[in-house]
């Protein structure tokens, strides 16, 4: 008998953790995307800060140092020019001033490019004007020197050029200080960005761990609910299987008794009446021969009914126990199924409980039916082993094997497993080295052995 179990789709959907897990996955992916975007923006800002401020400040500082070095060269040259003990005229310094002038112009041009981001236009214009005014004064000084007015030229150096050079040096030094301060601010901002990213990493890790913990707890809870439901369904299935098998055995017992008692008694009475009637018929009469033939048919039918009654529910099982029942059943099955059956017993026998004996007997019936119908083998071995730990029943054939014929015995296999479970035993399907199948039923002794009272 097949029992179909069904459940409401709505209840299955409500109890499934899939929706919650998908929601958690979406939240986790969204958090990962948001965090990745945040990190990308922060790293982009950090890269821009390093490129626009740190690198440009460093290059700008190099050019300012170049300007400062050139101005120092000019200051030293002017100090030497004021020395009246110098053997060279002032006009002889013009070539050196031209070289410094070209280098200053080039340095100022590069410095303006690197300082364009953080330097105001007024600051850039001031430095350019101061430098232009300084070179105008230098040109006037060399014009005086070229006209032979060396003293006026030196006076120009003392009164104007040195002051302008000092102002330029001060401006360049101030710009260097500003650059240093800018680099410190950039380093501070970079540190703040790193600190913020680090904090966000920790927060993201904590949030991820919390999400993993909550998802795991939800999954554990859902799995516990599912397994509890499965355990309940398994228990209900086991109870239902026990009731179905109990009902089946009760029905078969009733049919067996009806066949044995009712039909058996009727056929026995018919045979007895036919015998008495035949005694009153003269010898050699055709009627006497007909009565003998009818009586033989009745006796054959009675034998068949008794055999069928024993197959449905062996009375021997209740009267003489499992071992004697199998002694009777194996030869009977051999004749009915056309198989060559080898029945082997080993170990010290013990009385088997009637309830367990019925299930063991049914497992043997189903296993031999599978051999007869599906294995293709003509020979099988039945082994009943009494052991200290329990009872073991093996049915072995060398036919097609279980895999080849499993499709034909799904219900029978389920029935055998149910019966094994009901008596606390195990049912295993083994494949011997020579091929075929071994159906092995093992029942613990405390479940199989009959107890007094």
Per-residue pLDDT of the chain (453 residues), as tens digits, is 333 333 333 344 445 667 766 777 787 778 778 877 877 887 777 777 666 667 777 888 888 888 889 889 988 988 888 877 767 788 888 888 899 989 988 988 888 887 755 667 777 788 888 888 889 988 888 888 888 888 888 888 888 888 888 888 888 888 888 878 877 777 787 778 778 777 877 887 888 888 878 878 888 888 888 888 888 887 787 777 777 777 877 787 778 777 766 777 787 888 788 777 777 777 777 887 777 788 788 888 877 777 777 667 777 777 888 888 889 889 988 888 889 999 999 988 888 988 888 889 889 988 998 888 888 889 999 999 999 999 999 999 988 876 544 444 466 788 888 888 888 899 998 888 778 889 999 999 888 887 765
Q: Which runs of consecutive H residues, i.e. helices, occur in 147-161?
A: 150-156
| Nearest to 327, CA basis, from 351, 362, 304, 361 | 361
Cβ atoms within 10 Å, residue 402: 20
CATH number 3.40.50.2300 given to 314-448: no
Per the DSSP assignment, residues forming a β-bridge with 428 are 440
| Nearest to 425, CA basis, from 346, 381, 360 | 360
Residue with tokens 């004064």: 137
Return residue ranges of the chain for CATH 3.30.565.10. 314-448
| Nearest to 311, CA basis, from 255, 356, 269 | 255
Return d(Cα 62, Cα 172) in angstroms, integer. Answer: 11
CATH number 1.20.1330 given to 13-217: yes
Return d(Cα 319, Cα 367) in angstroms, integer. Answer: 24
Return residue ranges of the chain for CATH 1.20.1330. 13-217
Cβ atoms within 10 Å, residue 388: 7
Question: Torsions phi, psi of 341, nearest 5?
Answer: -110, 135
| Nearest to 107, CA basis, from 77, 141, 131, 133 | 131
For residue 237, give both structure tokens: 């299935």
Q: Nearest 5°: CA angle at 346, between 340 and 349? A: 120
Per the DSSP assignment, residues forming a β-bridge with 426 are 442
Return d(Cα 57, Cα 63) in angstroms, integer. Answer: 10
Instruction: Say if pTM beats, i.e. exceeds, 0.85.
Output: no
Return d(Cα 66, Cα 68) in angstroms, integer. Answer: 5
Q: Which runs of consecutive H residues, i.e. helices, occur in 283-348?
A: 286-312, 315-319, 322-337
pLDDT at 19 (0 to 100): 75
Checking DSSP bridges between strand 390-397 and strand 379-386, what pairing results, if any? antiparallel
| Cβ-based neighbours of 353, under 8 Å, separated by 6 or more | 447, 448, 449, 450, 451
Cα–Cα distance list, 70 to 37, 180, 264, 333 (Å): 48, 20, 136, 121
Do residues 70 and 106 make contact, with C-beta atoms less than 8 angstroms apart? no
């Amino acid at each position: 008998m097949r029992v179909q179990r069904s459940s409401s789709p709505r209840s299955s959907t409500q109890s499934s953790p899939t929706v919650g897990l998908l929601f958690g996955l979406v939240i986790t992916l969204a958090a990962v995307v948001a965090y990745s975007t945040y990190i990308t923006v922060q790293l982009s800002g950090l890269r821009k800060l390093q490129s626009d401020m740190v690198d440009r400040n460093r290059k700008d500082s190099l050019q300012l140092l170049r300007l400062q070095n050139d101005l120092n060269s000019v200051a030293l040259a002017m100090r030497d020019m004021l020395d009246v003990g110098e053997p060279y005229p002032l006009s002889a310094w013009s070539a050196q001033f031209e070289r410094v002038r070209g280098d200053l112009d080039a340095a100022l041009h590069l410095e303006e490019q690197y300082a364009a981001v953080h330097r105001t236009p007024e600051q850039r214009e001031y430095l350019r004007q101061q430098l232009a005014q300084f070179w105008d004064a230098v040109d006037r000084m060399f014009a005086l020197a070229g006209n032979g007015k060396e003293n006026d030229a030196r006076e120009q150096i003392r009164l104007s050029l040195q002051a302008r050079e000092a102002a330029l040096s001060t401006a360049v030094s101030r710009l260097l200080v500003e650059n240093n301060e800018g680099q410190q601010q950039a380093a501070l901002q970079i540190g703040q960005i790193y600190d913020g990213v680090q904090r966000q990493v920790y927060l993201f890790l904590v949030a991820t761990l919390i999400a993993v913990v909550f998802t795991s707890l939800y999954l554990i809870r859902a799995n516990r609910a599912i397994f509890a439901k499965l355990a309940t369904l398994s228990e209900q299935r086991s109870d239902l299987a026990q009731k179905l098998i109990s009902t089946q055995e009760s029905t078969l017992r009733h049919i067996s008794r009806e066949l044995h008692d009712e039909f058996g008694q009727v056929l026995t009475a018919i045979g007895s009446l036919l015998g008495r009637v035949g005694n009153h018929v003269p010898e050699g009469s055709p009627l006497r021969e007909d009565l003998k033939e009818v009586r033989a048919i009745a006796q054959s039918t009675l034998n068949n009914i008794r055999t069928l009654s024993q197959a449905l529910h062996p009375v021997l099982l209740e009267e003489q126990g499992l071992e004697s029942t199998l002694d009777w059943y194996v030869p009977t099955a051999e004749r009915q199924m056309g198989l060559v059956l080898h029945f082997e017993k080993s170990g010290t026998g013990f009385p088997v409980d009637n309830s367990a004996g019925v299930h063991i007997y049914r497992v043997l019936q189903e296993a031999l039916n599978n051999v007869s119908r599906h294995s293709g083998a003509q020979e099988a071995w039945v082994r009943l082993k009494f052991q200290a730990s329990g009872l073991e029943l093996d049915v072995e054939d060398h036919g097609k094997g279980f895999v080849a014929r499993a499709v034909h015995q799904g219900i029978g296999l389920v029935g055998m497993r149910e019966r094994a479970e009901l008596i606390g035993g195990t049912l295993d399907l083994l494949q011997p080295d020579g091929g075929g199948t071994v159906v092995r039923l093992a029942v613990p002794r405390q479940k199989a052995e009959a107890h007094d009272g």
